[in-house]
Amino acid sequence: MKYRKLGNSGLLVSELCLGTMMFGDPASEEESIRMVHHFLDAGGNFIDTADVYGNAETIVGKAIQGRRSEVILATKAGLSTGSSPNDRGNSRKHILDSVDASLKRLNTDYIDLYQLHVWDQLTPIEETLRTLDDLVASGKVRYIGCSNYLAWQLMKSLAYSDAKNYIRFISIQQQYSLVNREMDREHISLCLDENVGIIAWGPLGGGLLTGKYSSLDKPDFGRFSLELNGEFAINNKFTPRNFKIVEAVNDIARQTEKLPSQVALNWLLGKEGITSPIVGASSLSQLEQNMGAVGWALTKEQWEHLDHVSRLPDEYPTRMQERFSRTSNS
């Protein structure tokens, strides 16, 4: 396992991040702990969880006992954790309550990377960032990140931190895969310019890139649903464009004698700006398959083919800026 610097920090994280959303359900506690130990034994050090992932934080806390110093432990807060109106959001009250609850469940006295799960429309960014800065000063949190932010929300947060000399977000956790490249519009260039690391969730498109699906016939919905909206809605994922991408992934999997999931993850590992894709698993065997994405590389031609077939349509104002922008070579 190789290691990469996370954003504008000296923190080194493994090129794959172990996601824990399936810990406890459907993966049993025992199987989840085995997965953590296997990941650490293979050189992984980056584990991501959240306070809303059932009892995942408690399981992670048990799994890393005696090995805490090896782990870069990331968790998230901001989504609803109760029925009270203050049991959600990025207010000072909810963040402070949430971090103490997470520390207790994780059975640790510090969190390496504390992330805001979503943007909060109600809480002023000044209140949120001051609270996060206080948490770092207290030693309960060492670095901060955000998740599921629009580009302007990330930039506003970074600018306010700079203006007040507060701790800065070093990372953003966003959905990104061959079938979800919306970040290409603004986030990727912003993160490269501001040196913010990108932790990619959903790197296999909710399972679409695992080889399980090969046509629009939808024989097995799996994680997908018939709802009209949502990240795993059938109408968002089962599209002719996405199945052209699936076909390309499957073709290269045959060429390389790798699994489609390994090909899709390997493409991400070669994408500029992506620090670590998050690999979740419901079993040790599934985790081992996903970890087979490292230690090899697609050829330049294979990588570029996948990049081309999955690229977003040419859009304004990007195409106009590219046409008229000045460069050192112009």
Catalytic residues: 53
**CA pair distance 160, 35, nearest whole angstrom:** 39
DSSP per position, 113-136: EEEESS--SSS-HHHHHHHHHHHH
**CA pair distance 324, 96, nearest whole angstrom:** 48
**CA pair distance 30, 10, nearest whole angstrom:** 33
Listed residue (87, 83, 71, 93) closest to 17, CA to CA: 71
Q: In angstroms, what CA-CA distances link 318 with 53, 95, 260?
A: 37, 37, 31
Kindly report the backbone phi and psi dihedral angles of residue 198, in degrees, each rounded to the nearest multiple of 5, phi listed first. Answer: -110, 120
Listed residue (163, 176, 121) closest to 310, CA to CA: 176
**CA pair distance 253, 203, nearest whole angstrom:** 16
The tokens 């699906």 sit on which residue? 213
Number of H helices, E strands in the chain: 12, 10
The tokens 């922008």 sit on which residue? 325
